[in-house]
Amino acid sequence: MHKIAVVGSGYVGLVTGACLAEFGMEVTCIDRNIAKINGLKNGRIPIYEPGLEQLVKKHFHHKRLHFTTNIKTAVEESEVILIAVGTPTKEDGSADLKSVLQVAEDIAKYINGYKIIVDKSTVPVGTGQKVKQTIRNILSNKNNNTSFDVVSNPEFLREGSAINDFLKPDRIVLGVESKMAEKVMREVYAVPNGHGIPFIVTNLETAEMIKYAANAFLALKITYINEIANLCERVGADVKMIAEGMGMDHRISPKFLQPGPGFGGSCFPKDAKALAKTGRDNSLPLTLVEQTIIANELQKHRMIEKISNNMGDLKGKTLGVLGITFKPETDDMREAPSLVILEALVRKGAYIKVYDPAGEKEGRLRFNHIKDKVVFCQDEYTAIKEVDGILILTEWPQFKKIDLDYIKNQMKGNYFFDFRNIFERSAIEAKGFQYYCVGR
């Protein structure tokens, strides 16, 4: 059993802390946000993630999971220190490493013996070396020759399925520079190792690049099916069948071939931009990644056009929007397509009624600047009452069960924009709606 510190108690930090405790480690989660830490100490989980609250409470109760703002004690008492802070996009598209390097400095200040410092955050290639140099400079200024290792251990969890993704990953990636570091990290992940989860053990740069290459490829794959979907609408093909036909080829797989209004989330957009920047910084523009970024923005605007081309002048029209989070089973609105789409609809004079099972709190903040045109409702039936059209932007499972006869009678108009292809056209048109989706 190793004593672990996780610096940064956001999505990844919290899931990592709770799951490493589940693996039998003793974990201290640190954050500079005092309110967040106090909330966690009092059982308040600041994010909506299925299963997280239960896992955090279980290990907090068994004193295997601790929360603090005191990084000094946490560093002194831990053998392995994971950096899980944010790496948001800067103006030039690169990842902002301010927080990562700040934590590296804090660790160097309090290091009191051999430590393994692990980059869990998604960081551009070369960051591990920067972390190492930052710590080394501070130690040498103090004539402190304490040894340490830096490890890259990128995370692949998806929001909404984060616990399962962490406990049963497809693989564990370790960028290491010593046998000792590899040995300790294999012990930290002894449980998944025991379940046959494969490890990829490589150098820091390769581990860092695996993360970006994977995320950008997944973003590209989604963008590819979105573009095929747009062409399907012109040539009368069915993108759902195309995805099925493609996906039967095991080299392609059916995963991540669902077209929609564009990808969102805190990572695909930011990581694609960061990788594109790395390409340009090395005089090797990654044209496919750069085009993915452009095409994804275009996809959101294509959705707006689809609405205004079919509903005509939106001035004074009301739309009932079902789902605004970037995907189901999360309250996260970071880079959600709804942010661009709703703003454009309001700009065209539309009024919006919104229902999202988990997105209201964040949504109110994000749409505060247009709050006179956006009304939050407490359920999907209230959100569609008296509207001219329905707009589905997030495929929350409950929306598939909506009572179509009831909503047809409750609505003023009959426009039905299903941008997640939840329904079959025939079923919706049979109820008297004008049905619009993506690629069918």
Ligand X SMILES: O=C(O)[C@H]1O[C@H](OP(=O)(O)OP(=O)(O)OC[C@H]2O[C@@H](n3ccc(=O)[nH]c3=O)[C@H](O)[C@@H]2O)[C@H](O)[C@@H](O)[C@@H]1O
Residues that bind ligand NAI (CB under 6 A): 7-13, 30-33, 36, 84-87, 99, 102-103, 121-122, 155, 157, 159, 266-267
Q: How far is CA 53 from the centre of its chain?
A: 18
**Contact between 240 and ligand X per CB under 6 A:** no
CB of 265 to ligand X, least distance (A): 3
**Contact between 172 and ligand X per CB under 6 A:** no
* Of 136, 256, 404, 413, the one binding ligand X by CB under 6 A: 256
**Contact between 122 and ligand X per CB under 6 A:** yes
Is 331 assigned a ligand-binding role in the annotation?
no
Determine which one of 29, 232, 267, 377 is catalytic: 267
Q: How far is CA 208 from the centre of its chain?
A: 18
Is 122 assigned a ligand-binding role in the annotation?
yes
**Contact between 246 and ligand X per CB under 6 A:** no
Choose the binding region for ligand X from 174-182, 190-198, 257-265, 384-392 (rule: CB under 6 A). Answer: 257-265
Give yes or no for a contact between 40 and 29, defined as CB atoms under 8 angstroms apart.
yes
* Residue 102 binding result from ligand NAI, ligand X, none, given CB thresholds of 5 to 8 Å by partner type: ligand NAI
Give yes or no for a contact between 157 and 123, defined as CB atoms under 8 angstroms apart.
no
* Residue 85 binding result from ligand X, ligand NAI, none, given CB thresholds of 5 to 8 Å by partner type: ligand NAI
- Active site (annotated) includes residue 19: no
Is 156 assigned a ligand-binding role in the annotation?
yes
Is 87 assigned a ligand-binding role in the annotation?
yes
CB of 159 to ligand X, least distance (A): 4
Whole-angstrom Cα distance, residue 51 to residue 330?
Answer: 12
Residue nearer to ligand X on the CB measure, 157 or 289? 157
CA distances to 31, 39, 181, 378 from 83, in Å: 11, 21, 16, 38
Q: Strand 415-418 and strand 434-436: pairing?
A: parallel
Binding string, residues 193-232; x marks residues near ligand X by CB under 6 A: ----------------------x--x---x----------
Residue nearer to ligand X on the CB measure, 263 or 417? 263
Whole-angstrom Cα distance, residue 121 to residue 341?
Answer: 30
Whole-angstrom Cα distance, residue 36 to residue 401?
Answer: 36
Q: How far is CA 254 from the centre of its chain?
A: 20
Whole-angstrom Cα distance, residue 118 to residue 337?
Answer: 33
**Contact between 358 and ligand X per CB under 6 A:** no
Residue nearer to ligand NAI on the CB measure, 161 or 410? 161
Whole-angstrom Cα distance, residue 32 to residue 239?
Answer: 46
CB within 8 Å of 102: residues ≥ 6 apart: 85
* Residue 7 binding result from ligand X, ligand NAI, none, given CB thresholds of 5 to 8 Å by partner type: ligand NAI
Give yes or no for a contact between 194 and 228, defined as CB atoms under 8 angstroms apart.
no
Catalytic positions? 267
